Structure formats: structure tokens, C-alpha cells
């Protein structure tokens, strides 16, 4: 069978293979292709602010910036740029929803989330319920749905039992960054639909917010097919440099809600008076202050390049253009990424599963998970394991991965595990090297040679 991705051609777009790095910490952040770094530089001659100047440079930068919203909207299947707000990252995007909805929560309402969440999709709701709303004299509860500790799957019956007619919002991860589990989003949507909660818009159902930080980078996602109300993700986990995250929101919700940040450019031109302020049209109502302009442009181009790398890495077709991207192209490209990631993950699960004394967390079936594997070795401190892997040139991450509740739910003391995570530029050979290094650490043998730091320093 032909590989879904021409991985050697993909790798030629990146610097890390030439440095001898085995980049297997992709659930934290992915590596940037050379083209994107060059794109930053190529934007310098026309460097200007957006929506704030009459120069040709400003007009051109504004066009590039606005086009990036269209690319992002098409990539996730939104109806248009009206549904896209840009923030610094997933965390800020989820906080934006929290602050927007803060005033809408009524006394006695609740918000339901899960113990599988990244802290970014738990702590804001904790803070809203325990710290912010009580100071405003309002009592709102948060409820936590559990997962099955053996399978790593969300307990849908428990989730169903927590959702009721006072549940304004259900929040869940699209894929866990620790267990790897993909959430059955249609089932969660159905439960949120059935709550009967009366929203200010007149809709009778709970809103659904999906933390898609681990879902969008490796899957075909269609926000309208999933019928999510809000969805957040970060570009630094899908090839782009750090600094830009997306909040998709249904346009009618973004139009009706209070903005998260107030100030410049989010107001309608000339419509600010001592006794009244009118807000800008969407999506600029959610773009207060000078945005990360170059970051937005480069991030949207990262989506184009990701599709190119998946579909035809030697002949990029979408990168560097503003061509509308068909849904079928996004589907084809992202299906290739997810198939490749699944093959790598299956290989890692098989290899790691054969190691004595290893505990692997989450579903065993690679089709039920995203491209990461977290594990512990009996009697070994996970941070020490990750350090030993680094000495063997294998990049991993140990800690709680900000999925602290899930580590506690599994009774892990300290709440930590070691995690390997893969992306479309990783090879089966790299997976095998990582597995061999974990096996060596588990057996108490030295895991390897010089770490990448020494190799990079020796250049
Ligand atoms: N949610 C999940 C599932 C994640 O994996 C991460 C990143 N580890 C985040 C949220 C937070 O992303 P960011 O740091 O970009 O805000």
C-alpha cells in the first residue's frame, strides 16, 4: 500500500532533520517549515499596521490580514470570516468565551466539563464559578464528567447525568493531550441538545465548546457538521510559529455576545460618544487593539502549506496564494495527515506495549486516539525517563501536560507521565528509535549517545 504521506519529501521543508533532532514532542508544539520562517522575512518590506493607514503598504497588509481569516474559516468549515476571532492561543480563546458568557450565566446555572480536560478548559470555568461570579453575588456550579480509567474513554452516561435544564454550556476536549482519546463529539452534541436550557437567543439547548487544540492539527474538522457553538485551537501545534490561536464561534452568538476585550478597532468607525459606544462588525468586534498581524498571515499560510505537504510536498499549490480552498481538498489533505499519524501511533503502541513494566494510558486502538502516547515505567520517575530519552536524542515531555485532573483521576503520584507525540514529518524509523530508547531506559541500560543539544552546539 502506498504511504499516505511522502514523508521524505515533507522532511525537506524542515531544518530539524538536518540537525539530527528527533522531534517527537509535537503535542506541545510542532516544528516550523522553512517557507514560513522565510515568509516572515518577506513581509518586512511591506511592514505596516492594518485598518490604520492609507498607505499602499497598509492597504496591502490589511488585505493579507483579512484574507487570513477567510483561509482559517474555510479550513474549519465556517461559513465565513464572521465566525473567526484570533487570540494568542487556545487558552486565551477559551477565556474569551468565559468572559463573553460571564454576564449571561443566571443564578443556579451550571457548566459541565470533564476530568480529561487540559487545564485551559477547566481552570477558566473553575475561576468563573468559584472566584468571579460569587463576587458578583451569583452562584453557578461547574460539574466534571469522568472517564473510564481502564479504557481512557469519556463516560457518556456520567456526562448525561450531569447535564440538565440549567446547563448553559458543555465544554469538552476534542482529543485529550494525555490519554490521546478522541471525544465522540456527535454524542456530546446530542446530550447538549437535549438539555432544554433556554438561551438568551431563544434556543433551547446547551451550548457546546470544544477545545480542539489536539484535534484540528491532525484531523479533518468541520465546525458546521459538528454543530459546535465554539471551538478553539492553536497554530503552534500545526506548523506555524507561536503566538496565534483561533476561536471559532457561531456568527449569531458572536454577534449577540459581549466582546472579551474592549478598545481600538473593535468599535464602529466614528461611533464612540460620551454616553454610547457601537461595536464594529464581525469579526473585527473581536479584534481589539493592534493584532498579531504577521502571526495571523503566517498562521493562515501554515494551513495552506500543511495541505500542500500532505497532498503534494514537491509542488505546493496553495501556499503563498489566497486561492479559496475547497472542502474536499481540506478533507483529502487532513485525512492523509491523520492516516499517517495513526500509523505512527499504532507502531508506537505496539512497540511500547511490549516493554516490561510499562503502563500506557488511553485507548489501545490507534483509531480511537490522536497521535500521542503517554506512559510510565514501573519505579521510574517520568522526568528522569524523559531526560534519559533526551540523552538518546529522543525529544519527549514529562509532567502532567496540564491535564492534572486526569493524572489525579488515575491516582498518579506525582501526577506525571512521559509522552511521545508524532506529526506528519516523523518516520516509522524515528518511532522505532524512540521505542528502543524507552526499552533501554526500562531495562536500566544507557538509552543512547549524544543528545541533540550537544549535536546542535557542535555545529
Ligand atoms: N488544550 C489542549 C488539549 C492542549 O493540548 C493544549 C496545549 N498543550 C491547550 C489546550 C493549550 O494550548 P495553548 O498553550 O496554545 O493555549
Residue 149 has a pLDDT of 96
**Residue 275, pLDDT score:** 97
Q: Which residues of the chain have pLDDT under 70?
A: 1, 448-459
Q: Which of 28, 88, 91, 209 most suits a substitution to test ligand 1, by most atoms within 8 Å of the C-beta?
A: 91
pLDDT at 1: 64
Nearest-atom number in ligand 1 for the CA of 234 is: 15
Ramachandran quadrant class, 342 (left: phi over 0; alpha: psi -120 to 50; beta: rest): alpha
Tell me how long the chain is.
459
Record the cell numbers describing residue 459, joined without a space.
555545529
Is residue 418 annotated as part of the catalytic site, yes or no? no
| Pocket lining: 180 vs ligand 1, CB cutoff 6 Å | no
C-alpha cell of residue 149: 480509567
pLDDT at 2: 84
Nearest one of 28, 20, 8, 14 to 372, comparing CA atoms: 28
Q: Are 187 and 144 in contact (CB under 8 A)?
A: no
Phi, psi of 31 (to 5 degrees): -90, 145
pLDDT at position 16 is: 97
With a 6 A CB cut-off, is 211 part of the ligand 1 pocket? yes
Domains delineated in the chain? 7-31+331-458 (3.90.1150.10), 39-298 (3.40.640.10)
Per-residue b or e along 51-68, where b marks 16 or more CB atoms closer than 10 Å to that residue's CB:
beeeeeebeebbebbbbb
> Grid coordinates representing 4?
499516505
Predicted local distance difference test score (pLDDT) of residue 458: 40
pTM above 0.75, yes or no: yes
Pocket probe mutation, ligand 1, options 213, 235, 404, max atoms within 8 Å of Cβ: 213
The residue whose CA has the least distance to atom 8 of ligand 1 is: 28
Amino acid at each position: 500500500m502506498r504511504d499516505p504521506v511522502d514523508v521524505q519529501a515533507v522532511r525537506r521543508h524542515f531544518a530539524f532533520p538536518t540537525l539530527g533532532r528527533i522531534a517527537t514532542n509535537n503535542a506541545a508544539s510542532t516544528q516550523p517549515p522553512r517557507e514560513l520562517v522565510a515568509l516572515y522575512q518577506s513581509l518586512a518590506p511591506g511592514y505596516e499596521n492594518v485598518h490604520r493607514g492609507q498607505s499602499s503598504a497598509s492597504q496591502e497588509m490589511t488585505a493579507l490580514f483579512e484574507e487570513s481569516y477567510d483561509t482559517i474559516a474555510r479550513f474549519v468549515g465556517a461559513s465565513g470570516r464572521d465566525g473567526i476571532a484570533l487570540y494568542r492561543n487556545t487558552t486565551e480563546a477559551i477565556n474569551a468565551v468565559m468572559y463573553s458568557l460571564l454576564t449571561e450565566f443566571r443564578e443556579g446555572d451550571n457548566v459541565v466539563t470533564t476530568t480529561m480536560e487540559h487545564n485551559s478548559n477547566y481552570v477558566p470555568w473553575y475561576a468563573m464559578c468559584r472566584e468571579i461570579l460569587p463576587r458578583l453575588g451569583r452562584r453557578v456550579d461547574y460539574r466534571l464528567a469522568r472517564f473510564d480509567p481502564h479504557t481512557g474513554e469519556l463516560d457518556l452516561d456520567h456526562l448525561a447525568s450531569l447535564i440538565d435544564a440549567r446547563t448553559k454550556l458543555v465544554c469538552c476536549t476534542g482529543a485529550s493531550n494525555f490519554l490521546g482519546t478522541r471525544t465522540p463529539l456527535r454524542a456530546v452534541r446530542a446530550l447538549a441538545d437535549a438539555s432544554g436550557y433556554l438561551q438568551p437567543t431563544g434556543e433551547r439547548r446547551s451550548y457546546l465548546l470544544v477545545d480542539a487544540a489536539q484535534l484540528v492539527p491532525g484531523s479533518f474538522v468541520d465546525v458546521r457538521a459538528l454543530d459546535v457553538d465554539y471551538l478553539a485551537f492553536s497554530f503552534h501545534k500545526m506548523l506555524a510559529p507561536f503566538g496565534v490561536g483561533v476561536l471559532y464561534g457561531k456568527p449569531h452568538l458572536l454577534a449577540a455576545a459581549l466582546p472579551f476585550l474592549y478598545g481600538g478597532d473593535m468599535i464602529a468607525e466614528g461611533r464612540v460618544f460620551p454616553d454610547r459606544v457601537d461595536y464594529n462588525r464581525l469579526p473585527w468586534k473581536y479584534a481589539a487593539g493592534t493584532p498579531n498581524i504577521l502571526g495571523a498571515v503566517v498562521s493562515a499560510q501554515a494551513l495552506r502549506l500543511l495541505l500542500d505537504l500532505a497532498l503534494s510536498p514537491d509542488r505546493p499549490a496553495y501556499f503563498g496564494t489566497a486561492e479559496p480552498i475547497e472542502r474536499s481538498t481540506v478533507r483529502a489533505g487532513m485525512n492523509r495527515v491523520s492516516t499517517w499519524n495513526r500509523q505512527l501511533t499504532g507502531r508506537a503502541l505496539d512497540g511500547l506495549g511490549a516493554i516490561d513494566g510499562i503502563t500506557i494510558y488511553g485507548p489501545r486502538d490507534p483509531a480511537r486516539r490522536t497521535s500521542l502516547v503517554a506512559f510510565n515505567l514501573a519505579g521510574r520517575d517520568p522526568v528522569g525517563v524523559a531526560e534519559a530519552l533526551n540523552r538518546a536524542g529522543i525529544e519527549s515531555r514529562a509532567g502532567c501536560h496540564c491535564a492534572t485532573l486526569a493524572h489525579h483521576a488515575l491516582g498518579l503520584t506525582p501526577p506525571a507521565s512521559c509522552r511521545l507525540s508524532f506529526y506528519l514529518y516523523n518516520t516509522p524509523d524515528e518511532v522505532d528509535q524512540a521505542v528502543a530508547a524507552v526499552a533501554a531506559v526500562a531495562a536500566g541500560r544507557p538509552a543512547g549517545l549524544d543528545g541533540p543539544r550537544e549535536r546542535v552546539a557542535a555545529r
